[in-house]
Chain A
Amino acid sequence: MKNLLYILFLPFLLAFYSCEQIIDVEVPVHDPVLVLSSFYIAGDMEIEAILTKSAGILTSNDSLNIVEDATINLYEEDVLIYTLNEITVGEYAATLSAPLTIGKEYRMEVIKQGFETVWATQTLPAAVAISDISFEEEGGIDLEGVQKDVIEFKFQDQANEANFYQAIIRHRDRTDTTQNWGQWTWSLDPILEEGWEAPIFSDDILDGENYKLRLLADSRSSGSNSNVVLDFSVITRDKYLLSKSLVAQEIAKDNPFSEPVIVYTNVENGQGVFSMENRSFTIAQ
Chain B
Amino acid sequence: MKNILFLSVLVFLGISYQGNAQEKFTISGYIEDATNAEKLIGASVYVVGESKGTNTNLYGFYSLTLPKDSVYLGISYVGYESQYYKLYLDKDISLNFQIKLAELEVVEVSAERLDRIEDNTQMSQVSVPIQQIKKLPALLGEVDVLKTLQLLPGVQSGGEGTSGLYVRGGSPDQNLILLDGTPVYNVSHLFGFFSVFNADAINKVQLTKGGYPARFGGRLSSVLEINMKEGDMKKVKVQGTIGLLAAKLTVEGPIVKDKTSFILSGRRTYVDLLAKPFIKAQNTEEEKFGGGYNFYDINAKINHKFSDKDRLYASLYTGKDKFFADIESNRTNSRNESRFGLDWGNVTSALRYNHMWSNQLFSNVTATYSRYQFNTRINLTEEDTFNGVTESVNFGARYISGIEDFAAKIDFDFLPNPSHYIKFGVSGTHHTFKPGAIQFKYEEDVPVIDTTLGSSNVQSGDYAVYIEDDIKIGKIFKTNIGVHASAFVVDGKTYGSVQPRIGFRLMLPGDYALKGSFATMTQYLHLLTNEGIGLPTDLWLPSTARIKPENSWQAALGIAKTFDNKFEVSIEGYYKQMNNLLSYKEGANFFGFTDWQDKVEVGKGDSYGVELFFQKKFGKTTGWAGYTLSWSNRQFDNINGGVEYPFKYDRRHDISLVFLHEFSEKVQMSATWVYGTGNAITLPISKSVLFYPNEYDSPDFTTNQGVYVETSQEKNSYRMQSYHRLDVGIDFIKKKKRYERKFTIGFYNAYNRKNPFFIYADEDDNGDPKFKQFSLFPVLPSFAYSFKF
Given A58-B771, A179-B699, are A27 and B685 neighbors across the interface (CB < 8 Å)? yes
Tell me, rounded to whole Å, the shortest Cβ–Cβ distance linking A79 to chain B.
27
Digitize B264-286: 1 where CB-to-A-CB distance is under 8 Å, 0 elsewhere. Answer: 00000010011000000000000
Asked whether, in the complex, the Cβ of A27 is within 8 Å of the Cβ of B587, the reply is: no
Asked whether, in the complex, the Cβ of B274 is within 8 Å of the Cβ of A5, the reply is: yes
Contact residue among A25, A251, A259, A263 (Cβ-Cβ distance under 8 Å from B773): A25
Digitize A172-204: 1 where CB-to-B-CB distance is under 8 Å, 0 elsewhere. Answer: 000000111111000010100100111000000
Tell me, rounded to whole Å, the shortest Cβ–Cβ distance linking B62 to chain A.
46
Q: How far is the CA of A42 from the CA of B706 in the complex (A)?
A: 23
Tell me, rounded to whole Å, the shortest Cβ–Cβ distance linking A229 to chain B.
12
Contact residue among B691, B697, B711, B718 (Cβ-Cβ distance under 8 Å from A37): B691
Given A23-B772, A54-B711, A262-B712, are A143 and B449 neighbors across the interface (CB < 8 Å)? yes
Digitize B589-621: 1 where CB-to-A-CB distance is under 8 Å, 0 elsewhere. Answer: 100011100100000000000000000000000
Contacting residues, chain A, for B595 (C-beta < 8 A): 190
Contact residue among B242, B769, B775, B778 (Cβ-Cβ distance under 8 Å from A59): B769
Taking CB as reference atom, which chain A residue is nearest B773? A23
Q: Is residue B776 within 8 Å, beta carbon to beta carbon, of the partner chain?
A: yes
Q: How far is the CA of A60 from the CA of B702 in the complex (A)?
A: 30
Digitize A41-74: 1 where CB-to-B-CB distance is under 8 Å, 0 elsewhere. Answer: 1000000101011111111100011000000000
Stretch touching chain A among B122-130, B308-316, B755-763:
B755-763
Stretch touching chain A among B165-173, B360-368, B779-787:
B779-787
Q: Is residue A145 within 8 Å, beta carbon to beta carbon, of the partner chain?
A: yes
Contacting residues, chain B, for A244 (C-beta < 8 A): 587
Asked whether, in the complex, the Cβ of A50 is within 8 Å of the Cβ of B704, the reply is: yes
Asked whether, in the complex, the Cβ of B775 is within 8 Å of the Cβ of A257, the reply is: no
Q: Which residues of chain B in 736-779 are interfacial with respect to chain A, using CB atoms and an 8 Å cutoff?
A: 754, 756, 758-762, 767-778
Stretch touching chain A among B14-22, B249-257, B440-448:
B440-448
Q: How far is the CA of A8 from the CA of B532 in the complex (A)?
A: 30
Q: How far is the CA of A64 from the CA of B695 in the complex (A)?
A: 21
Q: Is residue B682 within 8 Å, beta carbon to beta carbon, of the partner chain?
A: yes
Asked whether, in the complex, the Cβ of B533 is within 8 Å of the Cβ of A257, the reply is: yes
Q: Is residue A19 within 8 Å, beta carbon to beta carbon, of the partner chain?
A: yes
Q: Is residue A222 within 8 Å, beta carbon to beta carbon, of the partner chain?
A: no
Contacting residues, chain A, for B458 (C-beta < 8 A): none
Q: Is residue B684 within 8 Å, beta carbon to beta carbon, of the partner chain?
A: yes
Taking CB as reference atom, which chain A residue is nearest B785? A8
Q: How far is the CA of A12 from the CA of B777 in the complex (A)?
A: 11
Asked whether, in the complex, the Cβ of B689 is within 8 Å of the Cβ of A52, the reply is: yes
Asked whether, in the complex, the Cβ of B709 is within 8 Å of the Cβ of A271, the reply is: yes
Contact residue among A15, A25, A48, A262 (Cβ-Cβ distance under 8 Å from B778): A15
Q: How far is the CA of A263 from the CA of B707 in the complex (A)?
A: 11
Asked whether, in the complex, the Cβ of A180 is within 8 Å of the Cβ of B690, the reply is: no
Given A9-B244, A11-B782, A182-B696, are A21 and B773 neighbors across the interface (CB < 8 Å)? yes
Q: Is residue A22 within 8 Å, beta carbon to beta carbon, of the partner chain?
A: yes
Q: How far is the CA of A39 from the CA of B698 in the complex (A)?
A: 14
Q: How far is the CA of A197 from the CA of B244 in the complex (A)?
A: 50
Count residues on chain A whose CB falls below 8 Å from chain B CBs.
Answer: 74
Contacting residues, chain B, for A9 (C-beta < 8 A): 244, 270, 274
Contacting residues, chain A, for B702 (C-beta < 8 A): 48
Q: Is residue B145 within 8 Å, beta carbon to beta carbon, of the partner chain?
A: no
Contacting residues, chain A, for B395 (C-beta < 8 A): 144-145
Q: Is residue B6 within 8 Å, beta carbon to beta carbon, of the partner chain?
A: no
Q: Is residue A252 within 8 Å, beta carbon to beta carbon, of the partner chain?
A: yes
Asked whether, in the complex, the Cβ of A19 is within 8 Å of the Cβ of B699, the reply is: no
Contacting residues, chain B, for A273 (C-beta < 8 A): 690
Digitize A245-285: 1 where CB-to-B-CB distance is under 8 Å, 0 elsewhere. Answer: 11111011000111111110000000111000000000000
Contacting residues, chain A, for B110 (C-beta < 8 A): none
Q: Is residue A110 within 8 Å, beta carbon to beta carbon, of the partner chain?
A: no
Asked whether, in the complex, the Cβ of B778 is within 8 Å of the Cβ of A19, the reply is: yes
Residues of B within 8 A of A (CB): 140, 242-245, 270, 273-274, 395, 440, 442, 444, 448-449, 453, 530-533, 586-589, 593-595, 598, 640, 682-702, 704, 706-707, 709-713, 715, 718, 721, 754, 756, 758-762, 767-778, 780-783
26 contacts between A and B (CB under 8 A): A5-B274, A11-B780, A11-B782, A15-B777, A21-B774, A25-B772, A27-B771, A39-B692, A50-B691, A53-B688, A54-B686, A56-B687, A57-B683, A57-B687, A179-B699, A182-B695, A183-B696, A197-B692, A197-B696, A248-B586, A256-B759, A257-B533, A260-B710, A262-B586, A263-B710, A272-B688
10 shortest A-B CB distances, which residue pairs?
A: A248-B587, A257-B532, A21-B775, A37-B691, A25-B771, A54-B688, A197-B695, A182-B695, A21-B754, A182-B696
